[in-house]
């Protein structure tokens, strides 16, 4: 009887989403998210109303696009994230123009386009890192996602006089951001602790970013 054993085959590599499909779906998904967030502002109950008025939700969409295309090249995930952001801006302000039957001031859309040029690639890459890497890399990606959610909530709480109608949702958003590192940081407590550490560092930076955006919108 032969003692040779069959060679162990490596598991099939993850197939990359076709580049054209990744970019097309990212752009279309961004358009849909922009339209949905505009409509959702008047439809969602107070507890989740922030979903209809949140730049962090758009950033999470870029993260999801990067995660979906994680088997693609990093630059493709970055571009996919960018397209979600620009698509969301076009969908949001384009639907506003249609609903209000008039041309809108271009200042706010241009500010958010500029923000998307930065946040889209960053969060797209973060989504790919979350899917492909482990250890501190994964912690950094998850901490970033949680931090942008929490920082937006903290920004609203810090400027409560302008968000008196959204204080409850601001708290829920901040708590959801805190939950992200615990839920997505990994299966062990070490991974969650790393993600929480990154989260704690990035929340103040995210708060500063939202303050700068607010100044740009008021300029």
**How confident is the model over 37-85, as pLDDT tens digits?**
887 776 666 656 666 678 898 999 999 999 998 888 899 999 999 999 9
Query: Given this model, what pLDDT does residue 100 score?
Result: 62
Q: Which residue has the higher pLDDT, 11 or 91?
A: 91
Query: Given this model, what pLDDT does residue 173 score?
Result: 84
Tens digit of pLDDT for each residue in 2-48? Answer: 445 444 444 444 566 788 889 999 999 999 999 888 877 766 666 56
Distance set, CA 81 to CA 2, 14, 77, 146 (Å): 54, 20, 6, 17
Residue with tokens 């708590």: 175
Residue 29 and residue 71: Cα distance in Å, rounded?
19
Average pLDDT rounded to a whole number, residues 146-170: 82
Query: Given this model, what pLDDT does residue 97 score?
Result: 74
Per DSSP, the chain holds a count of helices (H) and strands (E) of 7, 0
pLDDT greater than 80 at residue 183? yes
pLDDT greater than 60 at residue 1? no
Average pLDDT rounded to a whole number, residues 124-148: 94
How many CB atoms are located within 10 Å of the residue 20 CB?
8
Confidence of residue 104 (pLDDT cuts 50, 70, 90): low
Structural contact between residues 81 and 123, judged by C-beta atoms closer than 8 angstroms: yes
Confidence of residue 142 (pLDDT cuts 50, 70, 90): very high
Query: Given this model, what pLDDT does residue 23 score?
Result: 92
Query: Given this model, what pLDDT does residue 174 score?
Result: 87
Picking from 6-15, 136-145, 163-172, 195-204, which range would have the lowest pLDDT averaged per residue?
6-15
Question: In percent, how much of the chain has pLDDT > 90?
Answer: 50
């Amino acid at each position: 009887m032969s003692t040779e054993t069959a060679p162990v085959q490596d598991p099939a590599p993850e197939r990359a989403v076709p580049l054209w499909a990744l970019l097309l779906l990212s752009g279309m998904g961004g358009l849909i998210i922009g339209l949905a967030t505009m409509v959702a502002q008047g439809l969602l109950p107070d507890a989740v109303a922030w979903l209809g008025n949140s730049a962090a939700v758009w950033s999470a969409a870029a993260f999801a696009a990067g995660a979906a295309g994680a088997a693609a090249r990093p630059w493709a995930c970055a571009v996919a994230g960018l397209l979600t952001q620009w698509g969301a801006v076009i969908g949001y302000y384009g639907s506003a123009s249609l609903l209000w039957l008039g041309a809108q001031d271009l200042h706010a859309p241009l500010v958010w386009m500029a923000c998307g040029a930065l946040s889209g690639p960053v969060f797209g890459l973060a989504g790919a890192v979350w899917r492909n890497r482990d250890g501190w890399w994964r912690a950094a990606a998850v901490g970033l996602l949680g931090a942008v959610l929490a920082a937006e909530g903290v920004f609203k709480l810090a400027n409560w006089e302008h968000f008196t109608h959204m204080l409850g949702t601001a708290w829920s958003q901040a708590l959801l951001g805190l939950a992200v590192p615990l839920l997505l940081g990994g299966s062990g407590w070490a991974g969650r602790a790393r993600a929480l550490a990154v989260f704690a560092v990035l929340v103040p930076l995210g708060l500063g970013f939202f303050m700068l955006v607010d100044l740009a919108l008021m300029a």
